[in-house]
Amino acid sequence: MPIYEYKCLNCSNQMEVMQKFSDEPLATCPECGGELKKLISNTSFVLKGTGWYLTDYASPERKKAMEAEKGSSGNGMKETSTEKKSVSSKS
């Protein structure tokens, strides 16, 4: 069940209430009987670790780029297609 935050417009009492999705929002403050306003708050979980798109379910192009990054030399420079071409000299 999700947790919703409410704030009383009369006494500024702030509370968290665990409610079902199908439950009606609270309307009156249990402290003073004033009007309650439902607040929008941040989520309480963070997605970490393996199993997320960028690390495990990337497109074939992304996987190739990640493998190339792992296999590249430690000098921080990557070889590009223009560097592979040989320069022809004039005779």
Higher-scoring residue by pLDDT: 67, 16: 16
65 membership: H or E segment, kind and range: helix 60-71
64-85 average pLDDT score: 62
Helix-, strand-, coil-residue percentages of the chain, each rounded to 5: 20, 20, 60
Q: Quote the CA–CA distance of 69 and 80 in Å, as a whole number.
A: 13
Domain boundaries defined on the chain: 3-39
Q: Are the C-beta atoms of residues 8 and 39 closer than 8 Å to each other?
A: no
Give phi and psi for 54, each to the nearest 5. Answer: -65, -30
Residue 78 has pLDDT above 60, yes or no: no
Q: Quote the CA–CA distance of 91 and 89 in Å, as a whole number.
A: 6
Position 49 scores a pLDDT of 66
Position 2 scores a pLDDT of 83
pLDDT band of residue 91 (cuts 50, 70, 90) is very low
Tell if the pTM clears 0.95, that is, is over it. no
pLDDT digits (tens, 9 = 90+) for 25-74: 999 999 999 999 999 877 666 666 666 665 566 677 777 877 888 776 45
